[in-house]
Structures are given as C-alpha cells and as structure tokens.
Amino acid sequence: MSAGLPSQGARTALALVVCAGVIIGFAMGTRHVQGVFLPPMVMAHGWTREDFALALAVQNLVWGLAQPAAGMVADRYGTTRVAVAGCVLYAAGLLLQQQAQTPLQLLVGAGVVIGLALSATSFAVVYGAVSRLSAPERRSWALGVAGAVAGLMQFLLVPGVQAFIGGMGWPAALLALALLGVLVAPLARALDDRSVTAQAGGAALSMRAAIGQALTHKGFWLLNAGFLACGFHLAFIAGHLPAYLMDRGLNASHGVTALALIALANIAGTYLCGYLGGRYRRKYLLAGLYAVRTAAIAVFLLLPVSAPSLYLFAVVMGLTWLGTVPLTNGLLSQMFGVRYIATLFGFVFLGHQLGSFLGVWLGGWAYDRAGSYLPVWLACLAIGLIAVALHLPIDDREVAPAAARPA
C-alpha cells in the first residue's frame, strides 16, 4: 500500500474515493436540483423568483464564509466529525425549507442552514481528507475518481427528485432528500484522517503561518479570483436554467433533462480533469477549461433555443462543470502541501462562493426587473474570459515553508 494511505478495513483507496464521492455527490447533487424546486415552490407560495434566488444566493455566501472555518476544524480535529455534522445539518436545512411559509423562513432553511451544511460536506473538507490519505503519485487519480463518483450521484438525483415532485409533490421530494442526508452520514468514517495529519507535508508550519504564507503569494489570489467565475457560472445555470427554458418555450422536462445531462457529463469531465492534472500543468488546464466553457455559453446564446442545442450545451457544460475543483485543489497541494489543504482551499473557495452568490441572485434580480436573463448571460461571458487571463500567470512552483527558507 502506498505511503500515507491506511491499509486497514474500509480505508482502502477504493473505499476512500467512493465514500468521499457519495458525500460530495449528495451535497452538490441536492444543491444542483434546487432550480427544479423554483417553479413549484414559487407558484405554491406566491413568491417571486427573486425571493427564491435570494435564499440560494445567501446559501452560497454563507457556504463561502463558513468554508475556511470548516476547513480549519477538519485540519485540526479530523474530517469525519465535520462531515457527519454537515450531513445532519443538511437534513435539518431541507426540512426547514420544506416547512417554510415565508421568504424569510426559506432564507433561513435553504439559505443559512444548508449553506453551513455545504461548508462541511463539500470539496474543501472532503477533498482535503482525500488529498491527505492518498499518496502524492495517486492524488490526482483519487481526486478525479471521487469527483466522478460525486458526478454519478448528482446525475441520479436529478431524475429521482423530478420523479418525486411529479408523483408525490415537492414537499415529499425535500423530505426524501433530508432522509438521504442522514443515511449518507456514516460514510464519513472512511474519511478519518487524524492519524496522518501530523505526518503530512508542512507539519512543522503552524496553521497561522501557513495561512499567512498563502495570503502573501500572488498566485493564491489569482486562483481565488479565477474561481469566482466557476461559482458564477454554476450557480446561475443550475438555479435559473429550468425557468429560462420555460420562458423560451420549452417545458419543464427539458430543463430536468439538461440538468441530468450536465451531471452525467460531469462524471467524465471531473475524472478526465483529475487524470490530466497528474500529467500536465494544472494552471493551463484551468485556463483551457474556462475558455471552453465560455465558448459553449456564447454558442448557446447565438443558436435558436431548441432541444438539440440545449442538450449539446448541457453536455459541454457538464464536461467542464466541476473539473475545476480537483485541478484547483491539486494546484494548491502542489504549491503549499497538504497539511492545511482544507483550510487553504476553504479560503480559495470563498472566491467561488462570492461568484455563486452574485450569479444566482443577479439572475433573479435581472429577471424581475428586466424580464430577461440576457444581462446575466453576457456577464457569464465576460467573467469567463477574465478567468482565462487570471490563471495563465500563476506561479505554480512549490513554495518552501517559511521556517525552511534561508534567513
């Protein structure tokens, strides 16, 4: 067994990536299908699209603000405890969303509580454990496979949730997702990394010193700013694509199929990005990924809206959907080591979530005022091009710990 990877019991390489992928898949898949709940919940309660969009925007902002703290706790006390707490909190947030009768109650449940839960069950925390428990030569593979499993879970949730909504109503669908969160929690045992954190690279450096070192590195800030584009794209499209398609003459099933295709293509895309990240410079892969995504959005806007053009767009977007995450995580590990990777990725992820907040909220804000999503689609193009330019000058060389540098 490779160094750094426990050999006993369930903590084998395959069990590790499968359990990690299922936890991330539940967290991200449930977030991915929130757009499917927008039309029925808005109609049932008489809310506006901006009311629903604001709750999702707050969810993303709380997620981003809480992510560094969740990463710090995981780095210090182990990932298992954090992930279990996050799954239970996620279930509580979904129940609050189901029972919400006012926009404020929706904001608390779907916004604040689920936002906190996501900070404990998503990439920064779970990928941090995968990075620590995997040997360096297998790390890109492990991140890619975990992401692919998460993509499969995300894909399965889309038709599952739609079936619940169609057959039993949206309240039953939210209840089923809450139950799933409780069932997923025990899988976090496979992420127990307490025994290896002390041996991880950078152990001689304190958390405060590691954070300070990262904050003075120009590449750290470029990566943070570039990640904003990813959050903007994903939150806007996942939150508003079904409603946008209905406005353009397609029906609800087209939106659900598009989200399912995004999730399905994401399986291959995330694995491929993880695989390529172990062979080519990750900053160039990230720049290329944002370029492809921006081009796909431009073509989608130029073509007439139809089922074929929609499904082609969904497949291309899916191939680039979450591939940014193993590449960004791998780039951080390459530059700063894995001892405090959950903490450092948490700070970078804050940029992602700022973009998510703006993407999902501006979608609702623009529609309610202009009656169109076009201004936000154009913003997606501009932000994508900026992200390409930001990743190219990143200095991706390994950074020596401050304590090891010559005076």
Average pLDDT of the segment spanning 340-363: 87
Q: Specify the 3-state DSSP secondary structure of 234.
A: helix
Is the pLDDT confidence value at 376 over 80? yes
Average confidence score pLDDT of the chain: 87
* pLDDT of res. 6: 40
* pLDDT of res. 196: 67
* pLDDT of res. 7: 40
* 35 alpha-carbon distance from chain centroid: 15
What six digits make up the tokens of 169? 């109503």
Question: In this structure, is residue 257 part of a structural domain?
Answer: yes
* pLDDT of res. 201: 47
DSSP category for residue 400: P
Average pLDDT of the segment spanning 334-348: 87
pLDDT digits (tens, 9 = 90+) for 212-221: 989 999 999 9
* pLDDT of res. 98: 95
pLDDT digits (tens, 9 = 90+) for 28-84: 889 878 888 988 999 999 998 889 988 988 998 899 899 899 989 988 888 999 999
Name the more confident of 110 and 60. 110
* pLDDT of res. 401: 65
SS3 labels along 89-157: HHHHHHHHHHHCCCHHHHHHHHHHHHHHHHHHHCHHHHHHHHHHHCCHHHHHHHHHHHHHHHHHHHHHH
Average pLDDT of the segment spanning 381-399: 93
pLDDT digits (tens, 9 = 90+) for 175-210: 999 999 999 999 999 998 877 655 554 445 788 888
Question: In this structure, is residue 1 part of a structural domain?
Answer: no
* pLDDT of res. 402: 56
Count structural domains, the chain: 1
Is the pLDDT confidence value at 292 over 60? yes
Question: In this structure, is residue 8 part of a structural domain?
Answer: no
Question: In this structure, is residue 328 part of a structural domain?
Answer: yes
For the chain, the residue count is 407
* pLDDT of res. 199: 54
Model confidence, pTM: 0.76
Question: In this structure, is residue 344 part of a structural domain?
Answer: yes
Average pLDDT of the segment spanning 150-156: 85
Which CATH number characterizes residue 288's domain?
1.20.1250.20
Question: In this structure, is residue 405 part of a structural domain?
Answer: no
Question: Among 88-97, 111-120, 144-153, 277-286, where is mean pLDDT lowest?
Answer: 144-153
Average pLDDT of the segment spanning 355-372: 86
Question: In this structure, is residue 406 part of a structural domain?
Answer: no
Question: In this structure, is residue 2 part of a structural domain?
Answer: no
* 301 alpha-carbon distance from chain centroid: 25
Is the pLDDT confidence value at 10 over 50? no
Q: Which residue has the tokens 């999902």?
A: 360
Q: State which residues form the domain around 87.
A: 13-396
